[in-house]
Structure 1
Amino acid sequence: MMPVSIAIDGPAGAGKSTVARMVAKRLNWMYVDTGAMYRAIAFLCARSGVDPEDAQEVEAILQQHEIEFEEGSDGGLRVFVDGSDVTDHLRDPDVSSLVSAVAAHGAVRDRLTEWQRAFAKRYSVVMDGRDIGTVVLPNAAVKVFLTAQPEERARRRQSEFLQQGFHVPLDEIVQSVIERDRRDSEREIAPLRQAEDAVRIDSTNKTVEQIVDQILQLVAAHVR
């Protein structure tokens, strides 16, 4: 069978990664966490003190360091920077705060889009991000736009931070979520938007299992 792609887009904190990982596991396909790829660049900026708004400095970071991705035992991507596994550091608050700025640069998006499409050519994939159905994989067999209310997304992020040992006030996270939505939606290159042929799913007050089942029903209807 030719490789098949599922694109799951949506704003930060909508549950894309959790849902995409479970869908991939149920289908026995590869899960490609594109957010982890962008976070790898943000991690390098944080570690090196590089201004994420400076396109030339960020592009230089891409040239100076080796970034590799491997499939982990949980079916997700493990991210290696210069040979070291940095996956567990990619959701630290200091990294999260830089992702939108890093992702706005054309050179970064071009490089990562190339990597993402390479995965989809070799494997059947479930890929989540903000421009998968619109830019990276416009011909994906199934497209989903997964969203949720900002307050709900902020609570989820706060829970993630607490699990990592970071306490961040909820109102601060709500403002961060709203600001990231604005930046992601207004950027000139590959802005966050729902593809015309994507199915919109609001995850507010829904369990992960309910959302996964809904997406699998779409797959069953569209993938032969």
Structure 2
Amino acid sequence: MSKKITIAIDGHSSTGKSTAAKQLALKLHYVYVDTGAMYRAVSYFALREKLLVNGNLDKQKLIEKLKDIRISFVFNKDTNNADVHLNGENIEKQIRTLEVSSVVSKVAEVSEVRAKLVEQQKAMGDKKGIVMDGRDIGSVVFPDAELKVFMTAAPEIRAQRRYLELVEKGDDVSLEEVLKNVVERDHMDSSREDSPLIQLPEAKLLDTSEMTREEQFELLVSWAEEAIEKA
């Protein structure tokens, strides 16, 4: 396929967006960008700089320190994935914890944070041939994307998936606290004033509640091939 398009995948947390987007990019020989990881990197920075006290984010200090944040993706030959680096340090493992998950929506609410990251994300897609997933990719980053997908699943199912992932990594968490985090993130992502998570009318709905990863992937590939054909 010679034509290149832009594919925007938005949706709730723990729906399998990153896995699906990564597989699709590999299949199409496209560039994959995990924007959620970028927000997680800023969240990790905020935690490390002690900008969150008792769950309250010092937004002004974070805004002042944005100039000190450099986020990059570096290919890891051992995992065959692109790891997230913060100011040259590999933080791929650190940003996947429940602690970071519990604050990322608060950090993403900050307009200045979103502006900084959206600017970088738009630049990444200048030449098309990109699959990007997040919360506002189709609505803000790539409003003209040829294919927009909105992924969702029942909160209980997403919490169970996330819980198993964390336990497998050795994290000491309970299913109840993971579900609480999922529900809270849904509310914050959908109700924030700046670039809330929404399902656009033109976006194809992918409910993964009762689908295997293989079924999700096959459907995404068919949608992508159709969009490329129409481009």
What TM-score, normalized by structure 2, do the two folds share?
0.91
Residue equivalent to 1:131 = 136
Moved over 4 A (4+): 71-76
1:100, 1:75 → 2: CA distance? 28
Superposition RMSD in Å: 1.6
Q: Structure 1 residue 3: deviation in Å?
A: 4.4
The answer to whether the 8 A contact 1:158-1:173 is kept is: yes
Q: How does 1:62-73 map to 2 (within 5 A)?
A: 62-73=66-77
1:122, 1:59 → 2: CA distance? 30
1:27, 1:2 → 2: CA distance? 11
Residue equivalent to 1:29 = 30
Which letter maps to 1:55? K
Q: Structure 1 residue 53: deviation in Å?
A: 2.5
2:182 is the counterpart of 1:177: yes
Q: How many pairs align?
A: 224
1:205, 1:92 → 2: CA distance? 26
Q: Structure 1 residue 123: deviation in Å?
A: 4.7
Q: Structure 1 residue 133: deviation in Å?
A: 0.7
Q: Structure 1 residue 78: deviation in Å?
A: 2.0
Residue equivalent to 1:55 = 59
Which letter maps to 2:73? F
Residue equivalent to 2:14 = 13
Q: Structure 1 residue 59: deviation in Å?
A: 1.4
The answer to whether the 8 A contact 2:3-2:228 is kept is: no
Q: Structure 1 residue 72: deviation in Å?
A: 4.3
Residue equivalent to 2:124 = 119
Deviation per CA, 1:149-172, whole angstroms, max 9, x where unpaired? 000000111011112211211122
**Further displaced range: 151-160 or 56-65:** 56-65
1:170, 1:48 → 2: CA distance? 29
Unpaired runs of 5+ residues, structure 1, are none
The answer to whether the 8 A contact 1:44-1:61 is kept is: no
2:90 is the counterpart of 1:85: yes
Deviation per CA, 1:161-219, whole angstroms, max 9, x where unpaired? 11221121112211211111011100000001101100001101211111111011111
Q: Structure 1 residue 70: deviation in Å?
A: 3.1
